[in-house]
Amino acid sequence: MLSNYIVAFLSFSRLVSATTASHVLFVERQDQQASVEYTDDDDFRAAVLNSTNTYRRQHNATGLSWNDTLSDYALNWSDRCVFEHSGGPSGENLASGYPNTTASHEAWGNERDQYDFKNGGFTHETGHFTQLVWKSSLTVGCGRTECNSESSHTDDDSKKAPGWYVVCEYYPSGNIIGEVDGIENYYFKQNVQARIAPEDEPTATANPTPSSTSGPSSSGSARPSATGNCPYPGQQCGAAGSIRENLGRGLLVWVAGIIAVVGPST
């Protein structure tokens, strides 16, 4: 068994804008037959929506709908098999090496056990969870690719995604850090709620039906580039993040993070 450990790199920049903290998660590749959640498009999409919206209901957030534009963007990034963030305009969670799609989402969601719901805020250990249940996010799109050392578009072994690589994009993005009217972690307190009683959860069908939306803009290319160009027209992006609409509610802090978690092998 390998002990869990975290390797993190964070760079900070002050912007008068709303931006995201993005996260990465992987475990050692497990040699077994590929799950149908990876090999079948419908099962993959259903697993993403079912697991995502289960956690969201438990934290009093409405369910996300499937966004084809985000999905295309995510798939183009996962096909590179490079274990790093795309630098795009949406919230982004990454995972690699899990036995199925549901397991990767459970790893993100179960970070809630370490989250400080009283004080809120961003932490290295809970960033996947907070994006997953962020109330203001409305749509999600994910891609997945079976990767190996030969398929990766990098010569840096430390950045080669192991096994099935899952990339999920969320819009509007979450993990906005800022103070408003003297309230610290204002956006986290508004968007990440403690778990509620089952009878108080937002109503949903037992198996959410995948639905599609065109996204912020259905036109234009959704392919990421090495310079981090945005997939949507009218937005400005840099290689490490994006400049978003000025909310006019105070100075926000942008966090661009790379977090790698190695879990126990089985």
Host domain of residue 105? 36-195
Instruction: Assess whether pLDDT exceeds 70 at residue 154.
Output: yes
CB neighbours (10 Å) of residue 210? Answer: 15
Q: Which two tokens stand for residue 79?
A: 């096909």
Q: For the domain that residue 144 is a member of, what is the CATH number?
A: 3.40.33.10
| Residue 26 within any structural domain of the chain | no
Place of tokens 């397991």: 103
**Confidence at 149, pLDDT banded by 50, 70, 90:** confident
How much is the average pLDDT of 102-118? 97
Mean pLDDT, the chain, as a whole number?
73
Per-residue model confidence (pLDDT) at position 68:
97
Beta bridge partners of 141: 169
Measured between alpha carbons, how far is 225 from 162 in angstroms, rounded to an integer? 22
| Residue 211 within any structural domain of the chain | no
**pLDDT per residue over 168-210, tens digit each?**
999 999 999 999 999 999 999 999 999 999 999 987 643 443 4
| Residue 227 within any structural domain of the chain | no
3-state secondary structure 171-200: ECCCCCEECECCECCHHHHHHCCCCCCHHH
Q: Which of 232, 207, 25 is nearest to 132 (CA)?
A: 25
| Residue 57 within any structural domain of the chain | yes
Instruction: Assess whether pLDDT exceeds 50 at residue 265.
Output: no
Tell me the pTM.
Answer: 0.70
Measured between alpha carbons, how far is 262 from 195 in angstroms, rounded to an integer? 27
CB neighbours (10 Å) of residue 185? Answer: 18
| Residue 242 and residue 89 in contact, taking contact as beta carbons nearer than 8 Å | yes
Instruction: Assess whether pLDDT exceeds 80 at residue 123.
Output: yes
Measured between alpha carbons, how far is 101 from 98 in angstroms, rounded to an integer? 7
| Residue 52 within any structural domain of the chain | yes
One-letter amino acid for residue 51 of the chain: S
HSE-CB at 19 with a 13 A cutoff on CA atoms is 27
| Residue 108 within any structural domain of the chain | yes
> What Rg, from alpha-carbon coordinates, does the chain have?
17
**Confidence at 32, pLDDT banded by 50, 70, 90:** low
Per-residue model confidence (pLDDT) at position 246:
26
The helix (run of H) or strand (run of E) holding residue 61 is none
The helix (run of H) or strand (run of E) holding residue 157 is none
How much is the average pLDDT of 19-35? 56
- How many structural domains comprise the chain? 1
| Residue 222 within any structural domain of the chain | no
| Residue 21 within any structural domain of the chain | no
Beta bridge partners of 145: 165
Per-residue model confidence (pLDDT) at position 25:
55
Cis peptide preceding 233, ω within 30 of 0: no
Virtual torsion, Cα 103, 41, 88, 21, nearest 10 deg: -20
